[in-house]
Structure 1
Amino acid sequence: MTAFSTLLGTQPILPIIQANSTEAGVAIATAMHKAGIHLVEVVLRTPASIDALIAIKKALPELCVGAGTITDPSLLTKSINAGSDFIVTPAVSPRLLDALTQSPIPVVPGVSNTADILLAKEFGFTEQKLFPASLCGGEQFLKAVSSVFADIRFCPTGGINEQNYQSYLALSNVIAVGGTWIAQSQWVHNKQFEKVTQACLQVLNNH
């Protein structure tokens, strides 16, 4: 199976889309794509999120679109059936990991401590999401586990912003950072989608 990092390529950020409507989802994704973003994550936190994911895939077929906030096997199935290109979870459990191993698309399981990292590793996952990064040790935690779990690479998410994302990206065990700061809810509410494009460009140009 293709690894998540292969889908990501050199893109330093996993942009997170939280959409309250399909229209908003497509508008956010379009603004990101305009900046040169080729891969995004739609978090399943609103009733419109699955429909938004499907609409984004239809409007921007060249965009790689993943489903996030997958917390149980039924959501996993729903996301795969909706055409997701990859799966991201906020946490792990033996039951969820068991289902994730059957996934035909790349998976990034969410971990928050060393026990989670080891558990996900035992199920064969070497690319993991550290969440919520800022609350479970951040950069210091990632530095501390880099020698113990030398084969694990992370996508820290949660509390990442324009002030600290570059110091995370400087770590050797970080493949990308997950972030919502490039699509702030206020911008979306005010339909200021050019600000989303600008924020994405800033990240891509500074990498």
Structure 2
Amino acid sequence: MKTHSDFQSSQDTAISALRAAGVLPVVTVDSAAQGVAIARALAQGGLGTIEIALRTPAARDAIAAIKQELPEVIVGAGTVRVPEDIERARSAGADFLVTPGTTAALAEALVESRIPATPAAATPSELLELAARGFRIAKLFPVGALGGLKLIRLLQGPLPDLLLAPSGGITEAETPEYLAQPNVVCVGGSWMVPRDWLAAGKHDEVAAAAARARRLVDAAALA
């Protein structure tokens, strides 16, 4: 029987995984083989936790293939939009879930699933709703359009116990300042996996960008 403590344990797992990741690559794939190649390049650069967006027909097959061929990589399913996506992600082997926004029905399903999850919100009211349901980490999306660092800092006062994983419009150059905020555990981004690089198979560039991101995370941890 699932209990409230199971849900809180899953939140602990989500927080620990994203805090250790620091930077979460958000990847859109066209095939399972492409997903494996990208995950391998990211892991080579030091980013061993990734999010595969459920935006293409290949996404679930890519999650399953990565988990089979690179079991050490922690793979999340992103763009989880409806409760049915939760079971689809679970069956593919996803380690955690990330949403682009959170309806009441989706929030309830995430709590019931007990899968480590980071639901998204865009306003203080939405963040309060998530906190009231017991979520202790939320994705702030799309942070670049919402006010960026200024909003992150303003939220610290009224929501000191809610950790954030901002995503949407963050650049490599901005990452250190985001990671320096006490309420930020991780930033999501796609600057290390641009679609033109992926289409051209530029995996060396992906690995190099991942290595730069890893250095930023490590530097933030020492600051």
| TM-score when normalising by structure 1 | 0.97
* Partner SS, residue 209 of structure 2: helix
Q: Give 1:205 deviation, angstroms.
A: 1.4
1:24 aligned residue: 34
1:148 aligns with 2:158: yes
Aligned residues of 2:24 and 2:47 also touching (Cα < 8 A) = no
Q: What letter matches 1:126 in structure 2?
A: R
Q: Give 1:136 deviation, angstroms.
A: 1.1
TM-align CA RMSD: 1.0
Percent identity of the aligned residues?
35
Aligned residues of 2:19 and 2:186 also touching (Cα < 8 A) = no
Aligned residues of 1:154 and 1:173 also touching (Cα < 8 A) = yes
* Partner SS, residue 16 of structure 1: strand
CA distance in 1, matches of 2:135, 2:204: 36
Deviation per residue, 1:104-135 (Å, 9 max, x gap): 32110001001110111111111000000101
- Map 1:1-207; keep pairs closer than 5 Å: 1-2=9-10, 3=12, 4-206=14-216, 207=219
Higher percent of residues as helix: 2
- Structure 1's unaligned 5+ residue stretches are none
CA distance in 2, matches of 1:100, 1:94: 10
| TM-score when normalising by structure 2 | 0.90
Q: Give 1:138 deviation, angstroms.
A: 1.1
* Partner SS, residue 170 of structure 2: coil
- Structure 2's unaligned 5+ residue stretches are 1-8
CA distance in 2, matches of 1:116, 1:58: 36
Deviation per residue, 1:41-62 (Å, 9 max, x gap): 1110011101111111111011
Aligned residues of 1:17 and 1:29 also touching (Cα < 8 A) = no
CA distance in 2, matches of 1:90, 1:10: 21
CA distance in 1, matches of 2:128, 2:156: 13
How many residue pairs get aligned? The number is: 207
Q: Give 1:23 deviation, angstroms.
A: 1.2
Q: Give 1:7 deviation, angstroms.
A: 2.0
